[in-house]
Amino acid sequence: MNEITQLSDWTEANWTWSQAVTRRDFLATSAAAGSLVLMASASEGIQKAEVVEKLGEFQPDFFVGIAPDGTVTVLVHRSEMGTGIRTALPRVVADELEADWARVKIEQAPGDKRLGDQNTDGSNSIRFFFDRMRIAGATARTMLERAAAKKWDVDASECYAENHRVKHQGSNRSLGFGQLVEEAAKLEIPAKEELTFKPRDEWKYIGKSVPLTDLDEILTGKAVYGIDARMENQLYAVVARPSVVGGVVKSFDATKTKQKPGVVDVVEIPKFEGAPVFQPLGGIAVLADSTWNAIQGRDALEIEWDLGENTSYNSEAYAEQLKKTVNKPGTVVREEGDVSGPLEHATKLIKADYYSPHLAHASMEPTCAVADVKTDASGKVTSCHVVSATQNPQAVQQAVGPAMGIDPAEVLADVTLLGSAFGRKSKPDYCVEAAILSRKMKRPVHVTWTREDDVQHDYYHTTTAMHFEASLDKDGKPDAWLQRAAYPSIGSTFNADTKEPVGFEMEMGFKDLPFQLKNLRVESGEAIAHTRIGWLRSVCHIPQNFGVSCFADELAHAAGRDPLEYLLELLGEDRHLDLKKAGLGNRGASADDYPFDIGRLKNVTRRAAEMAGWAKKQNLPKGRGVGIACARSFLGYTGHVVEVEVSKDGTVTIPNVWVSLDSGTIVSPNRVRAQLEGAANMGATQALYGEITFTDGVADQSNYDGYQMTTLADAPRNIHMDVVESDAAPSGVGETGVPSLAPALCNAIYAATGTRIRELPISKHDLSWS
């Protein structure tokens, strides 16, 4: 127990913060203190002092408390949407604390900036908080050991925690955690330098699989999701929103609506000003005694809209415009050597354009929130409580607070379980809608988005055009590589003047090209957004890794080479990519902890190929083929091999997917495997069917009949997974598993049929053969 683990710079920077404010201080001062029993009852009122008492006598850290009966309570500040984070982070605390997992209780934290980042997004939860949770556990353990030493009048070095007790070396004395609470609460919180951390070979929970904490409640229907959240005397609301972003209500007639059973009122919600950010689209809300009655009332509304300038948005014409943009010079974002000469004088020049459409999040549970806003006689807001399926309760505070005219910290933002999210539920426009309506109605209001609302009013994944050029030398290797991308940026959601991809977007599989090339130029082009653009699982890696990896496969075939061998040659020597030279931000992570390690990328590529038996699958009969791709995304590494069968009528089936993942230290192996399986199915769905199109500014798709998902009939039949054992710093998993699936699938289709997929979705192509 005497090994000192090197902790991250993030931990160093935040240690003073966590020392200065203990968990007891947090609970006593937080506006959200009464929310910690949400999972039992969202509307149950509990006083702050009672909450502190419920959580125990000893709280040495924000994230952990111990009661006199020995119950350990861990505060979870990230959102649970199937990834298992509500289990994983407490397991890290419990491991370092030497707690008995059966005696650990988990409480969901409300939004509070003092807890650090709460945006459960970007595959950051374990990366950001692995060390922080270890500190929480080690702090509590150290204080319990010191408390026991004081009771026994021995040196603390003779005491050690084991399985929820503190024991004395050389004697049979031991005390349970609960027996030490009173004494431990009197001690000073130790400095980080005083802590010791368990060596890896003594970890009991980290790296071991365990069922989800909420599994029984989920399976028995007792778990509380956003759509289940209830407050006393609440109304139910749905909103008729403009079909085009930026549209406004010119006039409306609610006469028929108010005659519908159960309808209580009809309220207009103003639209956002300036860029959309996370404010409502605007429209007409119908409030009723049930969601069904609200929907019936909305259907009876008569609304005249001014849909605004974005009615000019038509996908087919816009796609052609993007393709023209990427076929002319753009803004250079990375340049090494000089591509002009080799491209101009090439004896063999390969050019290709790639395109991918908008995608919708389409999470199983649509967006939903319930709000209770109270005002005084003058109409000034005196309290605001929001309960929602959100990935980011601090964003809820930041969006709802200004809309209510109060400080964001005054918004009590509670978090339910999420029925999936993929990034949509980190954008809390729906929470603002609920708060606006509650303030107007002077009672709680639950806003539900229907599936049609969700698909037609999303923050869409962007649509992307890419252009590639490479000149090949006599050996078939590229001696110059040019690539250019244009797409409406996520930045446009926050700044309407944004016309090109912002830095982090280009670094997702494009500017961070890992190939070892003498001459390289990467450019971006302009694109104006005509709808709300947002991040979706894997973000710009989806189109950009598709284009890059498929073009690499094109070059392999043009050179008459095996695609695996060619890909490994493109990656070049085992090395760390020079992040500074390439101008890469590395997701804000230090190059020491998270180098761009080409050796690790090549390793997962080889491992996936070996699992698949790549060499034995190079002479398959027509209609069958395998494809390969790799990616470094969210600081983790994947290699994918996909096997396809394409029938003579063009029907695509996926018998096998092989994926190798290196995401450093793994906390929950079973959840990692589950996320890889989910990523394979999501990647296949997007590649095969994913497409949102617009006509006159209106999304053409509205439900799963038009925005198709894979089913048991066409999803990958077998998903073979390899998780590399590693003691490297933990990196992404949930998003990391997606990017290399689609290009591997498209490369396999080429191997099977000779048809190159350069535009998604695959379903638009005639793949029949004879």
In a domain, 217, yes or no: no
Are residues 68 and 42 located together in one domain of the fold? yes
Are residues 274 and 353 located together in one domain of the fold? no
Q: What is the DSSP letter of 757?
A: -
Are residues 152 and 201 located together in one domain of the fold? yes
Which pLDDT score, from 0 to 100, does residue 667 have? 98
In a domain, 372, yes or no: no
Are residues 398 and 464 located together in one domain of the fold? no
Question: What is the C-alpha to C-alpha distance for residues 706 and 700, in angstroms, rounded to an integer?
Answer: 8
Which pLDDT score, from 0 to 100, does residue 62 have? 87
In a domain, 218, yes or no: no
CA 219 and chain centroid, separation: 24
Structure tokens at 518: 């003498």
CA 702 and chain centroid, separation: 23
Domains contained in the chain, number: 3
Which pLDDT score, from 0 to 100, does residue 239 have? 98
Of 448, 468, 490, which residue is a domain's last? 448
CA 660 and chain centroid, separation: 20
Are residues 488 and 404 located together in one domain of the fold? no
**CATH number, domain containing residue 155:** 3.30.365.10
Chain length of the chain: 770
Which pLDDT score, from 0 to 100, does residue 287 have? 98
Which pLDDT score, from 0 to 100, does residue 36 have? 29
CA-to-CA dists, residue 404 to 33, 386, 439, angstroms: 21, 12, 8
In a domain, 8, yes or no: no
Are residues 600 and 573 located together in one domain of the fold? yes
- DSSP helix/strand/coil, 334: strand
Neighbours of 471 (CB within 10 A): 22
| Positions in the chain short of pLDDT 70 | 1-56
Are residues 60 and 127 located together in one domain of the fold? yes
Structure tokens at 217: 């409640």
Structure tokens at 550: 């498929």
Partner residues linked to 106 by β-bridges: 74
Are residues 324 and 179 located together in one domain of the fold? no
Which pLDDT score, from 0 to 100, does residue 170 have? 85
In a domain, 714, yes or no: yes
Are residues 682 and 722 located together in one domain of the fold? yes
Q: Which domain holds residue 198?
A: 20-212
In a domain, 482, yes or no: yes
Question: What is the C-alpha to C-alpha distance for residues 376 and 121, in angstroms, rounded to an integer?
Answer: 37
Question: What is the C-alpha to C-alpha distance for residues 85 and 672, in angstroms, rounded to an integer?
Answer: 11
**CATH number, domain containing residue 265:** 3.30.365
Which pLDDT score, from 0 to 100, does residue 50 have? 34
Are residues 45 and 119 located together in one domain of the fold? yes
Are residues 321 and 434 located together in one domain of the fold? no
In a domain, 132, yes or no: yes
Smallest Cα–Cα separation from 550: which of 322, 352, 684? 352
Are residues 124 and 264 located together in one domain of the fold? no
In a domain, 687, yes or no: yes
- DSSP helix/strand/coil, 432: helix
